[in-house]
Amino acid sequence: MFGLAAKWPVDFSVLALARRLLVWHTRINHASVSPLGKKKLYIGALFPMSGGWPGGQACLPAAKMALALVNERADILPDYELELIHYDSMCDPGEATKLLYDLLYTEPIKIVLMPGCSSVSTLVAEAARMWNLIVLSYGSSSPALSNRQRFPTFFRTHPSATLHNPTRVQLFQKWKWTKIATIQQTTEVFTSTLDDLEERVKEAGIEISVRQSFLTDPAVAVKNLKRQDARIIVGLFYETEARKVFCEVYKEKLYGKKYVWFLIGWYADNWFKINDPSVNCTVEQMTEAVEGHVTTEIVMLNPETVRGASNLTSQEFLDQLMSKLGGKNSEETGGFQEAPLAYDAVWALALALNKTVGPLKAKGRRLEDFNYNNRDVTAEIYRALNTSSFEGVSGHVIFDAQGSRMAWTLIEQLQGGSYKKIGYYDSTKGNLSWYGNDKWIGSGPPADQTMVIEEFRYLSQKLFVSMSVFSGLGILLGVICLTFNIYNSSVRYIQNSQPYLNNMTAVGCMMALAAIFPLGIDGLHVRRKHFPVVCQFRLWLLGLGFSLAYGSMFTKIWWVHTVFTKKDEKKDKKKHLEPWKLYATVGVLLGIDFLSLMIWQIVDPLHITVEVTFTREAPKGDLDVLIQPLLEHCSSEKMNTWLGVVYGYKGLLLLLGIFLAYETKSISTEKINDHRAVGMAIYNVAVLCLITAPVTMILSSQQDASFAFASLAIVFSVYITLVVLDCPCLAVHWQSDAQETMKTGSSMNNNDEEKSRQLERENKELQKIIQEKEERVSELRNQLSERQALRSRRRPSTVSNQNHNTPPRNNCHTSRLQMLYK
């Protein structure tokens, strides 16, 4: 019925016990009588003298002390004598099942059962209702036992383990911890306690970040705590497992000033010094690992010097108990801390039974009439226990609606190898009494987690200043080139280089250089709300600067390729160059960029985003903090799509420019006399851009490298372009000036230059006339040769005469040629 037969391999099941009720139903109870003439009432008790919690070592002597005093009192159960029948349960449910059988099926009848150890109490309390027995436990803390539907007749002087949880939550809040971890032994008592703790911390806004459990070996669980950076750790396990846990804690270095452990307070005071064959750590190592941990312990010994129902103070009780133990070391005696609870459990039972005598007598019943079918006596005992309230050696004894003891919680800390009281907590009133003597290995309570400090990454200012200087010098060079082109626009060599396109190139280069300034501006220089404006400047300056600089060069090379790479029969060497077509081409390229950028900004404007995917960094020094780097970026919702479109379009232009430059490298023309220099500049720009674009995308998370790479690419492209395009013009101009200076001995003014141009034009006209005269002379010579051949065929016989006459004719023709030259 209760799963006992399936859970423990014993000789009977609860069903078998139920069948035996038929036998007991007809049995008549004859109470035993003591030598003093008192009727005996028997208490069936289970005291664990060994096992996971050997609490019977001190609790059994304490219970016997209480029985002796109760039986001596004339005002408590004067007609009765209480007798204790007890067995060693070894804190083992299987063994306890066998012993429960003996208690129930061996006379005399027991009026109350007193188990200890939560696992044993669970078994006894669940079966006891079948026999109408009250169960009063002195050493059971499992929260599961607070279930009145499952355990309707259960009481305990040991408070529920959940009573620790309000105290723990209060301490978490006091020390401002919002993140904790737990490790538990896999048993019902600890699982129920942890479930209750999880509900309470959730209500308090505290997170359980790590929850580990183990059955026998805690090594893996402790390693997981270390790996997940657990700092504030609540440990729920028995004393023997506690030694195993802290041996692993020592091995994993999960102790020290960064960690705080919360343990159960009912271990022996020297639990970590006890030699345990299952633990391969020395006492010194264990002592080092447990230093500074905090325990929460139900107040089991009245801290006040008051005499309660037993007429003993708590100190007097301890003195008598030590005497009973024969001077045995209390730290090595199991259950010494719980002994006051066992003592008060007997007193609570005695006072409750004493309270039932009157009501039972009014009903015509007596305590000795109790049997396992008598519910009336059980009901009266239940009522009496439920209303119990007295001062015991463990403090004020009172039970809540679930039959659990209500008590204060003692807070202790291990300091220098011994436990020190640091406070009390009254959960009924929510009152924390604090001594202020808590001691920490560090400067104070540690943080509940590694503190993460967010820190923005900013561009190196030295790098920014350096690139700004190069950019400024480049802009100055662009202004010089632009001024030179404008001032010398009437020079024939410069005219043939299409100076207006060169001017556009210079302006585009200066815009590209100017983009370096917003590229280096970040959150260090401007506020976050102004950062999108910086993003716009970056995009527009680079976009339009590229269109002007590269577009004008591309237009030149395109025109040269269009005109001079046609088939011979379609060439038109006298084709007139119309400048407006060149300007229109640049305008189209610029318009495409302008339109695409405008659509981008309207549809999906740039905004600031923060990258947080960096690995956390540990600062120098022994600080329990990590730095979380952050980096600001200019981005939009569909940034990759827009970049793909822009990079694809401009990439095609760059590749086409390289192709056109290669195709026209051997062409020579006076229409655009610098197209070879333009081709060289296109090679430079294309290669740098095709390399820089993907590299900067890859290095986007490294602000210094990305900025340096992009800025140097712009600087090199611009410098090389300006030098390649404008230096030849400067050289030709200076060479022309030097030649004119040598001819005239002085610098040429505007009139001399005009005369020189006029002479050049006249020289060309004369050369043209000479060429026409030479053609006429050649024609006349051809005619003369033809006439001579004709005459020689007609008069072959007069060759000698013709020879005498030939010189005069030649002289005549020579004179005619001279006339033509004149």
Pairing of strands 260-264, 294-298: parallel
Express each pLDDT in 376-417 by its tens digit. 899 999 999 999 999 999 888 999 889 998 888 999 999 998
Please determine, for residue 714, whether its predicted confidence score (pLDDT) is greater than 70: yes
- Is residue 786 assigned to a domain? no
Same domain, 123 and 187: no
3-class SS of residue 307: coil
Query: Per mean pLDDT, which range of 464-468, 474-478, 680-684, 724-728 is the poorest?
Result: 724-728
In this prediction, residue 92 has a pLDDT band, given cuts at 50, 70 and 90, of very high
Among residues 710, 734, 758, the one where a domain terminates is 734
Same domain, 149 and 124: yes
> Residue 240 sits in which domain range?
161-310+409-448
Express each pLDDT in 529-543 by its tens digit. 878 888 888 888 888
Spatial neighbors of 343 by CB under 8 A, at least 6 apart, are 62, 63, 65, 66, 310, 317, 392, 393, 394
Percent pLDDT > 90 in the chain is 35
Q: Which of 141, 245, 233, 147 is nearest to 193 (CA)?
A: 141
pLDDT for the residue 244: 94
- Is residue 766 assigned to a domain? no
In this prediction, residue 808 has a pLDDT band, given cuts at 50, 70 and 90, of very low
Question: Does residue 676 or residue 192 have the better pLDDT?
Answer: 192
User: For 411-438, what is the mean pLDDT?
Assistant: 90
Q: How far apart are CA 797 and CA 809, in angstroms?
A: 19
Q: How far apart are CA 769 and CA 633, in angstroms?
A: 71
Give the CATH number for residue 277.
Answer: 3.40.50.2300
Q: In angstroms, what CA-CA distances link 395 with 298, 303, 304, 386?
A: 10, 8, 8, 17
Same domain, 135 and 87: yes
- Is residue 752 assigned to a domain? no
Same domain, 541 and 686: yes
Among residues 734, 757, 782, the one where a domain terminates is 734
Same domain, 79 and 171: no
Same domain, 596 and 482: yes
Give the CATH number for residue 691.
Answer: 1.20.1070.10
* Cα dihedral across residues 470, 473, 479, 482: positive or negative: negative
- Is residue 1 assigned to a domain? no
Contact 375, 352 (CB under 8 A): no
Q: What is the count of structural domains for the chain? A: 3
Same domain, 79 and 219: no
Question: Does residue 195 or residue 722 have the better pLDDT?
Answer: 195
CA 441 to chain centre: 28
pLDDT for the residue 495: 62
SS3 content of the chain, % helix, strand, coil (to 5): 55, 15, 30
The secondary structure of 24-87 as a DSSP string is HHTPPP---B-TTSPEEEEEEEE--SSSS--THHHHHHHHHHHHHHHHH-SSSSTTEEEEEEEE
* Cα dihedral across residues 774, 778, 783, 785: positive or negative: positive
Same domain, 345 and 211: no
The secondary structure of 196-223 as a DSSP string is HHHHHHHHTT-EEEEEEEESS--HHHHH
Question: Does residue 90 or residue 688 have the better pLDDT?
Answer: 90
Express each pLDDT in 357-376 by its tens digit. 999 999 888 998 899 988 88
In this prediction, residue 102 has a pLDDT band, given cuts at 50, 70 and 90, of very high
Express each pLDDT in 311-333 by its tens digit. 999 999 999 999 999 878 887 88
Query: Per mean pLDDT, which range of 338-342, 427-431, 546-550 is the poorest?
Result: 427-431
Express each pLDDT in 111-138 by its tens digit. 999 999 888 999 999 999 899 999 999 9
Spatial neighbors of 698 by CB under 8 A, at least 6 apart, are none
Same domain, 386 and 430: no
- Is residue 784 assigned to a domain? no
In degrees and rounded to multiples of 5, residue 132 shows phi and psi of: 55, 45
Same domain, 78 and 151: yes
Same domain, 306 and 319: no
Residue that has been written with the tokens 């023309």 in this structure:
669
- Is residue 525 assigned to a domain? yes
- Is residue 30 assigned to a domain? no
Express each pLDDT in 615-667 by its tens digit. 777 777 656 778 888 888 888 888 888 888 888 888 888 888 888 888 877 77
pLDDT for the residue 752: 62
- Is residue 761 assigned to a domain? no
Alpha helices in 488-498 (DSSP H): 492-495
Same domain, 275 and 330: no
